[in-house]
Structure 1
Amino acid sequence: MRTAKRSLLPGMLTTILCAALLSGCVSRLLTSPPPTTYDLPGVESAPAVKGRTSSQVLVPEPFALQTLASQRIVVTRGPLVAYYPNAQYPDTLPRLVQSRIIQAFEKSKGVRAIGRPGEGLSIDYQLLTNIRTFAFDVTPAGRFAEIEIFAQVMNDRTGKVVEAKLFKASVPVAEDTAPAAVTGLNAALDQVLVEMVAWAVPRL
């Protein structure tokens, strides 16, 4: 009987220790502040466009590699890809960029209708986009908000790409902080969206 009690003791101690450790981890998770959320408001004023098209345009969610397809804010330092701790976007980057593209076209009043899949559009064209770069880049020459988005206008009835273009923007950033990085990224996104709207509307 004594032998049985002795053999149970180490197991009981291990269970108690694991429970205590787990309790501490849960406590830290519950008391840790949530990440600070930084938005990308997009263009404030209507991008200038020539004319107006009667086409209805679908904007699917942009494609992005896994490093960009999250709510985290990407920081690149040479070949190293990292993220700002305790900072995030309000949604995954592809969905956020999709929303800002649609808003930019709506503000331009250059298209008859534009929206996401499932919104009941009678689609004439699709605007397909690929987020290739969307990061705060720290280099020996300085700090920059870097954005590259490849866009294609596709005729929805024929499935053929009408035209394609790579849009790029680089904005200097003074500080290596999440607020400064997001401010720079929003300024770079504004440039890209204004150019994209002006380029796309005459082709729709």
Structure 2
Amino acid sequence: MTRTSRKDDRMDRNGASEFSVMRLRRLLSVTALVPALGLGLAACGSKAVNDTFDLTASVSEIATPASARNRQLLVADPSALKALDSEQILVRVSGAEIQYLSQSQWSDRLTRVVQSKLVEAFENTNRLGGVGKPGQGLAIDYQLITDVRAFEISAEGADRGVVEISAKLLNDRNGTVRAQRVFRAEVPSSGTDNAAYVAALDRAFARVTADIVGWTLQSM
């Protein structure tokens, strides 16, 4: 996990929340975003400076069937609900209430970051004939189809990073689904500032990524 700048921001779930300026009033109405009128807002006429965070792709060489070495894998554009698919870092305050971490953002739209890091992780294994994104000219054998179901800081109970991704491995030659599985990881936060929250998310994503990569290579 890397970031380009740093703020000392704190989160207080008991009325002094310093999560972001946007809040979902209803879980099923992702367009009903309204400004939060409490703490954490920049002064009128000023613009807050956001810390920018990235994710890591730490998967290295792993054991895999020899048959995978000549395969080419397309990592398709991940899907996600609108509330997730942005540069904002989501915080789940309760089962039906979410907010966004104040003065913090991802380096790109979340699904783009996830896709790029999955590609990097597969490349780092050195176990495939080729791996890439749509439009990169692969002679595709398989497609990895993913849906980001959760990518959030959970404030219910102990603060923790939660990542859940559904994956399908599609045989591109005949259009059949070779395998499918849901991957999930939860990692406690080591602190109460933005960097600690994002670090927990990064570690959870690293676990999910490692599981997805190993499962995909074994399923080919």
Scaled to the shorter chain, the TM-score interval is 0.7 to 0.9
Q: What's the CA shift for 1:203?
A: 1.9
1:18-57, aligned counterparts within 5 Å? 28=45, 32-43=47-58, 45-52=59-66, 53=68, 54-57=70-73
Partner of 1:139: 156
Structure number with larger C-alpha Rg? 1
Q: What's the CA shift for 1:95?
A: 0.3
- Contact 1:59/1:102 (CA < 8 Å) preserved in 2? yes
How many percent of aligned residue pairs carry the same amino acid? Answer: 32
Alpha-carbon separation, structure 1, partners of 2:48 and 2:153? 24
Gaps in structure 1 of 5+ consecutive residues: 1-26
Alpha-carbon separation, structure 2, partners of 1:146 and 1:179? 15
Aligned residues: 174
Gaps in structure 2 of 5+ consecutive residues: 1-43
Q: What's the CA shift for 1:85?
A: 1.6
Partner of 2:9: none
Q: What's the CA shift for 1:115?
A: 0.2
Alpha-carbon separation, structure 1, partners of 2:184 and 2:49? 32
- Contact 1:48/1:194 (CA < 8 Å) preserved in 2? no
* Residue from 119, 140, 147 that aligns with 1:130: 147
- Provide, for residues 102-159 of structure 1, a one-character-per-residue CA deviation record: whole Å limited to 9, x for no partner: 011000112110000000000111000000000000123x111001000000011211
Does the residue aligned with 2:71 lie in a helix, a strand or coil? strand
Q: What's the CA shift for 1:33?
A: 4.2
Q: What's the CA shift for 1:175?
A: 2.8
1:1-204, aligned counterparts within 5 Å? 28=45, 32-43=47-58, 45-52=59-66, 53=68, 54-78=70-94, 79-140=96-157, 142-204=158-220
Does the residue aligned with 1:180 lie in a helix, a strand or coil? helix
Alpha-carbon separation, structure 1, partners of 2:74 and 2:204? 24
Q: TM-score, normalised by structure 2?
A: 0.75
- Contact 2:190/2:200 (CA < 8 Å) preserved in 1? no
Does the residue aligned with 1:38 lie in a helix, a strand or coil? strand
Alpha-carbon separation, structure 2, partners of 1:100 and 1:67? 21
Q: What's the CA shift for 1:39?
A: 1.0
- Contact 2:61/2:127 (CA < 8 Å) preserved in 1? no
Alpha-carbon separation, structure 1, partners of 2:211 and 2:61? 8
- The aligned amino acid for 1:118 is G
Alpha-carbon separation, structure 1, partners of 2:97 and 2:190? 20
- The aligned amino acid for 1:105 is F
Greater share of helix: 1
- The aligned amino acid for 2:98 is V
Alpha-carbon separation, structure 2, partners of 1:109 and 1:196? 15
Does the residue aligned with 1:119 lie in a helix, a strand or coil? coil
Q: TM-score, normalised by structure 1?
A: 0.81
RMSD value, Cα? 1.5
- Provide, for residues 64-105 of structure 1, a one-character-per-residue CA deviation record: whole Å limited to 9, x for no partner: 000110000000011211001211000000000000100110
- Provide, for residues 159-194 of structure 1, a one-character-per-residue CA deviation record: whole Å limited to 9, x for no partner: 110100111100011333321111001101111111
